[in-house]
Amino acid sequence: MASTVRVTARDDRVLAYVRGLSLVIIPFLLAAFVVLYVFPSDTTRLFAWTITSTMTSMVLASAYLGGAYFFVRVLREPRWNAVRTGLLSVSLFAGLLAVATIVHWDKFNHRAVAFWLWAGLYLTTPFLVLGGWLANRRFAAPPGLDERRLGVAARWCIGAVGLLALVQGIVMFLVPAQVIAIWPWALTPLTCRVVGAVFCLGSAGIGVLVDPRWSSVRLMFQVEGLMVALMLVAGVRARAEFDTGRFLTWLMLGGFVAVLLGSARLWYLMEIRHRQAGVGAD
C-alpha cells in the first residue's frame, strides 16, 4: 500500500494567519501609545490601571509604538526570517504581562473598558502569536549563499546585549522589591514587572547567535531604534522623576545612548555603505 508524503514548500512565506493577527493587534497598540505617551499623567481615567510615574507610562508606550511598527511591517514583509525572532519576543512580552495581570489583579480598574481590553488582549495574544510562530516556522527557508551576514564581533555584541536585556527583564519580573530599591525612578511591584517585560523584548537580539543574516535582524534594529529614541525623549520629559544620585540612573542613560549609537553605526555599515559600494562597483 503506497503511503502519501506531504511535502511542505520551505519558501520563507509569511502565512495569512500571521498577517491577519498583525492587522488585529495594530489598532490596540496605536491607541495605547497615544494614551500613555501623549497623556502619561491621565492613566486613572484613560488606562487599565493608574500608573503614577509618567516615565513608566512612556516606557510602555514606546514598546507599543515599536510593536505597532513591527506588525505594520509584518503585513508587507515577504520573508519569514525577517519577522520570526520578533514574534517570539512579542509572545514572551505578552505572556509576562498576562502573568503580571493575574498576580496583580486587584491593582487594575475593573470598571474601565480599557482594563477588559487589556485583559482580553494579554490573556489571548501570547497563545495566538506563539501559535502563528509554530505554524509558520514550517516554511522557513535555509540561508542563501549570497545573503549578507553580520561579522563575528557584531554578532556576539548584539547577542550579548539581547541576553543582558533578557536577564534584566527576568530579574525585574521575579524580584521586583530588590530592583525597586535601586531603580532610577519610582516603581511599584506591578510596574516593575511591566518594565521588565519591556526589557525582555530585547531578547530578539539573541537570535543572531543562531541566524547571523542581516535580513533576520534588520527590522529588529528599526524597532529597537524607534523604541530607544522614544524612551530617551521620555527621559527628558520626565527628568524630574529620576533620582540622579543613583548609579543605575547614569548607567542606564549611558547604556541606552550606546545602544542607539552602536545600532546607527551598524546600520550605516550594513545599509548605506553597502549601497554606496554597490553603486561604485557598477
Summarize pLDDT for 153-207 with one digit per residue, the tens: 999 999 999 999 999 999 999 999 999 999 999 999 999 999 999 999 999 999 9
Q: Which domain holds residue 259?
A: 16-281
- Average confidence (pLDDT) over 83-87: 95
pLDDT value for 2: 46
| Residue 6 in domain | no
pLDDT value for 200: 97
Beta-bridge partner residues of 149:
213
| Residues contacting residue 117 through CB under 8 Å, at least 6 positions apart | 28, 48
| Residue 272 in domain | yes
Query: Cell triple for residue 53?
Result: 510615574
pLDDT value for 18: 97
Per residue, the 3-state secondary structure of 149-212, as one string, reads ECCHHHHHHHHHHHHHHHHHHHHHHHCHHHHHCCCCCCCCHHHHHHHHHHHHHHHHHHHHHCCC
Distance, CA of 101 to CA of 109 (rounded, Å): 11
Q: How many domains are contained in the chain?
A: 1
Distance, CA of 98 to CA of 94 (rounded, Å): 6
pLDDT value for 195: 98
Give the distance, in angstroms, between the CA of residue 193 and the centroid of all CA atoms in the same chain: 15
Q: Which stretch of 29-33, 196-200, 259-263 has the lowest confidence by average pLDDT?
A: 259-263
* Length of the chain counted residue by residue: 282
Query: Other CB atoms closer than 10 Å to residue 70's CB: what's the count?
Result: 27
| Residue 10 in domain | no
| Residue 35 in domain | yes
| Residue 33 in domain | yes
Q: What is the pLDDT of residues 177-191, one digit of tens each?
A: 999 999 999 999 999
| Residue 7 in domain | no
| Residue 165 in domain | yes
Distance, CA of 101 to CA of 90 (rounded, Å): 16
CB 88 within 8 A of CB 71: no
pLDDT value for 145: 78
| Residue 2 in domain | no
pLDDT value for 143: 83
Query: Other CB atoms closer than 10 Å to residue 143's CB: what's the count?
Result: 13
- Dihedral pair phi/psi, residue 149, rounded to 5°: -125, 150
pLDDT value for 5: 42
Query: Other CB atoms closer than 10 Å to residue 45's CB: what's the count?
Result: 11
pLDDT value for 274: 67
Average pLDDT, the chain: 92
pLDDT of residue 36 exceeding 50: yes
pLDDT of residue 277 exceeding 70: no
What type of residue is 194? V
